[in-house]
Structure 1
Amino acid sequence: NGRVSMIAAMILAVVIGQQPVFHDVPATFLCVVGGVTAALSVKTLRSRSNFYAPVLIIVAGYLAGALALGLASGWPIEEIGLRGLWGALNGLVSAGLTFFLLPVAESVTHITTDLTLLELSDPSRPLLRRLSVEAPGTYAHSVAMANLVEAACNRIGANGLLGRVGCYYHDIGKVKNPQYFVENQIPGNNPHDRLKPLQSAQIIKAHVTDGLALAAEADLPDAVAAFIPEHHGTTEITYFLDKAKKIDGNQTRNIEDFTYPGPKPRSMETAISMIADSVEAALRVLEDLTPQKIEEAIHHIVRTKVNAGQLDQAPLTLQQIEQVKQAFLVVLSGMYHNRIDYPESSGGISAAWQPPPETARSSR
């Protein structure tokens, strides 16, 4: 936050300037120049290269400050050069210390930086690698969902990178029992067919607590781990609740047994992930998707979440929700666009294509 950094730099400059050792040195002015320059120059740190430009700007700021102060005070050129050199060295050392002390600062303040998020987004990370191997359907869903959430977050000014990374990890608990989730199942082999609805609901709910346990083991930041429970909020596991009602009739049952533990989304990013999770899953069920059908599905899901009070604790305005819907529509229209039929004579595949008999026989 540039504004907070500027205020902190000014306060620190005043404190340093009041120290006895600096009474004869205009340290306050140079500290203000260096601190404000640093606060204004560092906007994003997503790679090592993002360090270089701010360091050069800070060095230039110190040199300019020393030159201005020296000319105003009548310093000799050697004195100006020495002050500028010390200031430039201070900028270089400060940048180096920042790079090495950043992990410590993150652990103390619980603030997750972009550098950490980028590290967590690496597909070779143990949890993501395990998810892609043991629950490939869930992994594919997470990646598709991440594209939606990042676009929507960027549209409304939220943290798009946090939204993307949170989606990568939001369903990691499914690696405990991947075969119980439809996206990982082989057609015709659904283990829930052999279970009672209550048992199935408990297994589905468990992926939240399992995910939080895995997140704690992997030492995921709180901001990322929050996606695990909050993307479901306190919604009901309606499929198995309806199944239980059909089997048991009006028999009294505890609705909490068929409800996710929550909490409801408490940030813009987790709220958007809740909507995206439902939208991405719902569109896989629909056929003959058109932009109009996609838009209507998005609107229906958002209205359902709002009416259920699932977004009550999220800092989203109605205008931002509309922007989220529009961002989803743009991304999803691109994902589900139509393709032309390529001639089968040239080795292409059309909508009416069927595998030839010899291919079917050889695959057995």
Structure 2
Amino acid sequence: MPTLNLKSTGGGLKTRKRGFFNKRFIVKSLICIIFYIIIFAIVMTSVAPKRYDLRVGDIADENIRATKDIVDNITTNRKIQEAVDAVPNIYKSDNQINAEIINDMTNTFEAIDEIRYQVQLKYKEMERQSQISGAQQQPSQQSSEDSQPDTENQRVDSKQDLPDNFIAELFQDFPIRLSTGDMNTIINGTETEITLIKTAVASELEKAIRLGIKTDTIASAKSDIIEALQRIQVSNEVRNLGINIASSLIRPNMIYDEEATLQNKEKAAQEVEKVVYKKGQLIVAEGQPVTIEQIEMLKELGLLKDQDVDVTIYIGVGILVFLLLMVIVFYTRILDRQALSDSKHLILIGLVMTLVLVAVLLFSRINIYLAPISAGAMIITILLRPRIAIVVNALLSILVTIMAGNDINVFLVSLIGGFFAIYMLSKAQQRNSQLLAGVLVSCVNMVVLLSMGLIFTSEISSILTTSLWGLGSGVLASILTIGTLPIWENIFDVITPAKLLELSTPNHPLLKKLLLEASGTYHHSILVGNLAERAIEYIGGDPLLARVGAYYHDVGKLKRPYFFKENQVGSQNPHNKITPNLSTLIITSHTKDGLEYAKKYKIPPVIRDIIIQHHGTSLVAYFYHKAQNGENGNGVDRDNFRYEGPKPQTREAAIIMLADCVEAAVRSISDPTPGKIEGMIRKLIKDKLDDGQLDESELTLKDLNKTAEAFSQVLCGVFHKRIEYPELKK
């Protein structure tokens, strides 16, 4: 099967850049803060410990135990700090810097050799010129062996013998900065001394690299190198040259290894033994007088009424609630950006979580297992999507468990029951499925509690009683879901599967009107719906929304149905009597006309978005080319023949755009074959990609390739060949 060539020449899939502190971000942040405060207050109502009015010498009315593990922070922190301070900083050798030093040294030595070589050549040239001048009186024959200079132990007589511009050119690209004396030494030094000093410099630099050079030890390293070079038996000029070269090349190669140092410090801190008072440890025994030490312990735990509130509990709950809410933020930012693209969805999730937690708070006075915890997962699944419902259900399970005193049974009932509810409702699209989901949750809760009772309890009567409470939880969850669902739908304009099914029925007034007044558009929309639904099933999304959105995407053609080819019966085409500009205006206005029809018939906003976006800013190519071929064709502005947009913002809207143009174009193929159909599909998708129409959607190149395969499968079934029926002889 051919693959989709998606190399873009003009557009491409681009990511829109948004400012971090834009209006939408601020609104969402405020919503998160408000619900953070609400959820925090509800949880604190359950977890705040009981406080006692006790003094030294009072008799305790009950046993008082530690509500949490307590660490002697002062002593522990002092020991940790001492251990951390004793850990030395760790440095590591930077191989890249080492290589750079060696490379710079090599380049410097090669430059010295090259300069000395060029100097010898220059002197030979000067000598030949001198001989030529003397040859006017007595010509002499130059030996062929003089053509190559011999630099071994040869010293140039004087720097002044060479032209200044020649010397400047020699040292123009020298790797390091040199003094005039150093340049003179390079030119006039003997080969033996130059070689000796180079060897010594290389040896000392390599030694320094091996030993390691830190920022605070570089002066000492230079001093060591200078001291070593002082012992070399060469002239002072050559020695100074070596010292200058080494000083210019040497630099710190030991880099502070922060990660290794921190690891050692953390290891040292972890090895410090903490002084811990365990949770549940008896502090005050019933009937015993309270001692000073016990009062201090109760103060540490925040269990005395005459002291300030134990802020550590508030901090702990606050941090935990914050982290749990951040899970939703991270999930939507990384895995499902569309889930909370609308601030209303964020408010919806916050209100649902608040409703469930308040219900838990109320029902916990009867029995915590009766609380309709799974209602949150059920409502979010129906109103938004199963994936975000899974996250919300997990967070609610954790919060409810904390409110229940870390009861593992509550956590399992909440988590497993909610997951089963999500699975049930994600597969069903009828309203009675909500009641069935509640029954399923009841059964699951009862089984979970029964299983945990058999593991940890031997009292059968207690196990059965607890299981029956769990049975009522699922029923209450379904009642709460069914009772509040219409309220959520109306307040937040959220479209549910049940609502989509109502919109998809042919008896809907707007669809019936489309069938009677623009039957060609109606049947075109049905086929576009089949294409879009199949493609969304391939790439992921809401297939039902794609199908229903396709049904309504062209309702704007009702205003002028016969200006659209699919509604024209016969050869009369009203566009033949008007200008291309006017034709374009009529064609492009059907998106805005469709939006007006949708508002009139109270079609949900998500469908209205598809109607206005399904052409994006596409070019009306036919009338644009017609205008170009007409009078004043050179002055035609391409932008005047485009839809006003906006471009598709969701994958469903983008898929409907592609399905719309593909369905119309494939009908124009003469003698359609699977190969022709698929080739046309892939060409049209690439054209939309190149035109930038998919820039603001969530489609990837992989999605587009799957979309082409889905379209091809559907259209090949529609345009399959039929056998020719023979005429029966009478």
How would you bin the TM-score normalised by the shorter chain? Answer: 0.7 to 0.9
Report the more deviating stretch, 211-220 or 252-261: 252-261
Q: Distance in 2 between matches of 1:292 and 1:23?
A: 65
Matched, 1:330 2:724: no
User: Taking structure 2 as the reference length, what is the TM-score of the superposition?
Assistant: 0.44
Report the residue type matching 1:287 in the other structure.
S
> 1:5 is matched with which residue?
389
> 1:232 is matched with which residue?
615
Distance 1:140 1:40, change over 3 A: closer
Report the residue type matching 2:393 in the other structure.
A
In the comparison of the two structures, how many residue pairs are matched? 345
> 2:485 is matched with which residue?
102
Matched ranges for 1:199-278 at <5 A = 199-250=582-633, 252-278=635-661
The answer as to whether partners of 1:229 and 1:261 remain within 8 angstroms in 2 is no
- The runs of 5 or more residues in structure 1 that have no matched partner are 348-364
Report the residue type matching 1:252 in the other structure.
G
Distance 1:84 1:258, change over 3 A: same
**Partner deviation per Cα, 1:228-276 (whole Å, 9 max, x = no partner):** 1222110111222222222232453444432101111222222221121
Matched ranges for 1:107-146 at <5 A = 107-146=490-529
Distance 1:64 1:339, change over 3 A: same
The answer as to whether partners of 1:234 and 1:263 remain within 8 angstroms in 2 is yes
Q: Distance in 2 between matches of 1:40 and 1:336?
A: 37
The answer as to whether partners of 1:44 and 1:114 remain within 8 angstroms in 2 is no
Q: Distance in 2 between matches of 1:182 and 1:8?
A: 49
Report the residue type matching 1:280 in the other structure.
E
Q: Distance in 1 between matches of 2:658 and 2:724?
A: 33
> 1:164 is matched with which residue?
547
Q: How big is the alpha-carbon RMSD for the aligned residues of Structure 1 and Structure 2?
A: 2.6
User: Taking structure 1 as the reference length, what is the TM-score of the superposition?
Assistant: 0.85
TM-superposed deviation, 1:217: 2.3
> 2:372 is matched with which residue?
none
Matched, 1:59 2:442: yes
Report the more deviating stretch, 278-287 or 92-101: 92-101
**Partner deviation per Cα, 1:192-241 (whole Å, 9 max, x = no partner):** 22222222211111111011112222232232222212221101112222
TM-superposed deviation, 1:154: 0.9
TM-superposed deviation, 1:168: 0.2
Q: Distance in 2 between matches of 1:27 and 1:286?
A: 63
Q: Distance in 2 between matches of 1:60 and 1:263?
A: 48
The answer as to whether partners of 2:424 and 2:433 remain within 8 angstroms in 1 is no
Distance 1:38 1:184, change over 3 A: same
TM-superposed deviation, 1:36: 4.0
The one of 678, 681, 685 aligned to 1:302:
685
Distance 1:5 1:283, change over 3 A: closer
TM-superposed deviation, 1:9: 3.0
The answer as to whether partners of 2:552 and 2:607 remain within 8 angstroms in 1 is yes
The one of 412, 418, 421 aligned to 1:38:
421
The answer as to whether partners of 2:651 and 2:698 remain within 8 angstroms in 1 is yes
Report the residue type matching 1:230 in the other structure.
Q
Matched ranges for 1:333-348 at <5 A = 333-345=716-728
- The runs of 5 or more residues in structure 2 that have no matched partner are 1-384
Report the more deviating stretch, 241-250 or 44-53: 44-53
> 2:290 is matched with which residue?
none
**Partner deviation per Cα, 1:255-304 (whole Å, 9 max, x = no partner):** 44321011112222222211211111112222111112112211221221
Greater relative contact order structure (CA < 8 Å, 6+ sep): 2
Is the partner of 1:248 in helix, strand or coil?
A: coil
Matched, 1:180 2:567: no
Q: Distance in 1 between matches of 2:413 and 2:713?
A: 49
> 1:91 is matched with which residue?
474
Report the residue type matching 1:294 in the other structure.
I
Report the residue type matching 1:112 in the other structure.
I
> 1:287 is matched with which residue?
670
Distance 1:60 1:304, change over 3 A: same
Report the residue type matching 1:150 in the other structure.
E
TM-superposed deviation, 1:152: 1.4
The answer as to whether partners of 1:240 and 1:258 remain within 8 angstroms in 2 is yes
Distance 1:141 1:4, change over 3 A: closer
Q: Distance in 2 between matches of 1:14 and 1:332?
A: 49
**Larger radius of gyration between Structure 1 and Structure 2:** 2
The answer as to whether partners of 1:45 and 1:115 remain within 8 angstroms in 2 is no
> 2:363 is matched with which residue?
none
Report the residue type matching 1:129 in the other structure.
K
Report the residue type matching 2:513 in the other structure.
R
Report the more deviating stretch, 166-175 or 214-223: 214-223
